[in-house]
């Protein structure tokens, strides 16, 4: 997947542009310079093309450590990007901060688009010509607040994107994702070195990931390690937020995501964020609690940990969970069977007759609540897709489905068929619709 980043000084409207492009209010928008300090990521879909979008903090000239941190974050984003959108304020003249950013971008050898924001009336349109002095040939007027110029911007961003060819590869692909220092590298090394035959190492399609093909029980699998990073100084290795982008790219190419957390640090909010990307992408997930060797009473603590996981990951109660130690290799042998089973459930197909029997029984036990004298009726259910499993319900009126009843139906499906480790999708369609 291609990557695009938004770069500019503070308060030029980058976050508003970001929200317009991803079509949700994910980035904080306040009329205060420097609000967006860390990079924020989102996925943009335009026509038949998808790309990752990075929103960065505003870069200002100055020597304070806070600004240096923002500049580092932006530099990391520039390094990862295929296209850079340089956002400037169309109501102002070129500033010293614009010049400083220009100098950084000139060294990047990337495609640069200058987006002149706040051009929301005819009088300001001539202002864009001032910004050709920055030395970039592509200058596009936009107004983030009035949603003007975005089609032209998207066309320019994507016009050089090549259509990505999906690899036809039946081998199960799984990736290790998680915060830095939770033991992802150690875990993949322990997994590959434990009675495994490494077939080959293939450079990954992303800069940071390495695909390792290996055999387990005479079957080939592809493990994607996101822990490796091109070394550009130790400071790069210490940026925790950098793990987001590496995780996103690995998730996109995987069937199963192995989320690694630390038994020492416990479950942090960042772990939930990383998991949410895997679930949003519709991937199967295995949760690994690593560093289990430090737990003094593992038999007792495993019950506590299961409760802890259930409370923190209440939005994904179907997760498969493995407790192990990459350092001592204790219980590492339990990981592959769970990955394989999660993938089996991820690709599972349910017979239509069996599925309808389950739903009929579920409805007879608990009818949908009525709404304004009308009650939801389910005529037919079928599985229309897998990876993840997707079920289509033909109903009298899809507007009558309530989230609580949808959850009830999902629970009944899960009770009857093993879908542990994978999300499932329920879609409702009016029977009269084609």
**Rounded CA gap, 101 and 71, in Å?**
9
What's the angle, vertex CA 361, arms to CA 356 and CA 362, rounded to 5?
Answer: 95
3-state secondary structure of 211: strand
Spatial contact of 14 and 4, defined as CB atoms under 8 Å apart: no
Nearest to 49 by CA among 127, 183, 159: 159
For the record, the structure tokens of 235 come out as 């400071």
pLDDT at 23 (0 to 100): 81
Closest to 381 measured CA to CA, from 399, 400, 367, 361? 361
Q: What is the DSSP letter of 105?
A: H
Tokens of 259: 């989320």
pLDDT of residue 233: 46
- Give pLDDT, residue 131: 93
Strands 284-290 and 256-262, sheet pairing: parallel
**Residue ranges in the chain modelled with pLDDT below 70:** 24-40, 61-73, 163-168, 194-210, 226-247, 434
* Contact (Cβ atoms closer than 8 angstroms) between residue 283 and residue 257: yes
Q: How far apart are CA 297 and CA 305, in angstroms?
A: 12
Number of CB atoms found within 10 A of residue 69's CB: 15
Cα→Cα distances 246→59, 146, 175, 231, 433, Å: 23, 33, 11, 14, 41
60: tokens are: 């200002």
User: How many CB atoms are located within 10 Å of the residue 428 CB?
Assistant: 19
Q: Are 324 and 292 in contact (CB under 8 A)?
A: yes
pTM of the model: 0.70
Q: What pLDDT, on the 0 to 100 scale, is given for residue 209?
A: 52
Q: What are phi and psi of 79, to 5 degrees?
A: -60, -35
- And the tokens for 366? 């608990």
Rounded distance between C-alpha atoms, residue 309 and residue 325, angstroms = 18
Contact indicator for 341, 422 with CB cutoff of 8 Å: no
The residues, ordered by sequence, that sit 6+ positions from 301 with a Cβ below 8 Å of its Cβ are: 295
C-alpha span between 75 and 69 (Å, rounded): 10
118-170 pLDDT tens trace: 998 877 888 889 999 999 999 999 999 899 999 999 999 999 887 655 556 78
- Confidence (pLDDT) at 299: 82
Query: What is the distance between the alpha carbons of residues 346 and 283, in angstroms, rounded to a whole number?
Result: 8
> What residues have CB less than 8 Å from 21, skipping those under 6 apart?
42, 44, 53, 150, 154
Dihedral (Cα; 323, 324, 330, 331), 10-degree rounding: 50
């Amino acid at each position: 997947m291609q990557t695009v980043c938004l770069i500019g000084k503070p308060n030029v409207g980058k976050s508003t542009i970001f929200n317009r492009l991803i079509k949700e209010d994910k980035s904080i928008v306040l009329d205060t310079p420097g609000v967006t300090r860390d990079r924020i990521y989102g996925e943009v879909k335009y026509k038949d093309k998808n790309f990752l979008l990075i929103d960065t903090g505003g870069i200002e000239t100055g020597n304070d450590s806070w600004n240096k941190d923002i500049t580092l974050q932006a530099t990391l984003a520039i390094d990862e990007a295929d296209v850079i959108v340089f956002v400037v304020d169309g109501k102002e003249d070129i500033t010293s901060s614009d010049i400083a950013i220009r100098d950084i971008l000139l060294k990047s050898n990337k495609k640069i688009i200058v987006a002149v924001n706040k051009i929301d009336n005819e009088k300001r349109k001539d202002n864009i010509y001032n910004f050709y002095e920055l030395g970039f040939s592509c200058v596009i007027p936009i107004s983030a607040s009035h949603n003007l110029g975005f089609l032209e911007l998207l066309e320019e961003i994507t016009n050089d994107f090549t259509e990505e060819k999906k690899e036809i590869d039946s081998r199960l692909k799984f990736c290790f994702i998680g915060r830095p220092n939770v033991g992802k590298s150690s875990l993949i090394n322990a997994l590959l070195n434990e009675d495994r035959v490494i077939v080959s190492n293939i450079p990954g399609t992303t800069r940071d990931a390495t695909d390792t093909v290996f055999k387990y029980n005479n079957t080939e699998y592809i493990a994607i390690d996101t822990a490796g990073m091109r070394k550009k100084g130790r400071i790069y290795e210490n940026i925790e937020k950098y793990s987001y982008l590496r995780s996103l790219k690995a998730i996109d190419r995987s069937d199963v995501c192995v989320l690694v957390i630390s038994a020492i640090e416990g479950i942090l909010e960042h772990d939930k964020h990383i998991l949410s990307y895997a679930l949003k992408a519709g991937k199967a997930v295995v949760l690994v609690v690593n560093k289990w060797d430090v737990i003094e009473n593992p038999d007792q603590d495993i019950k506590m940990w299961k409760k802890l996981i259930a409370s923190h990951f209440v939005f994904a109660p179907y997760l498969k969970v493995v407790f192990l130690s990459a350092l001592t290799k204790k219980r590492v042998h339990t990981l592959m069977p769970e990955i394989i089973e999660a993938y089996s459930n991820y690709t599972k197909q349910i017979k239509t007759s069996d599925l309808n029997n389950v739903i009929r029984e579920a409805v007879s036990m608990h009818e949908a609540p009525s709404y304004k004298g009308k009650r939801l009726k389910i005529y037919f259910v079928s599985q229309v897709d897998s990876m993840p499993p997707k079920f289509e319900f033909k109903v009298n009126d899809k507007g009558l489905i309530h989230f609580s009843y949808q959850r009830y139906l999902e629970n009944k499906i899960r009770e009857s068929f093993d879908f542990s480790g994978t999300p499932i999708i329920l879609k409702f369609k009016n029977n009269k619709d084609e």
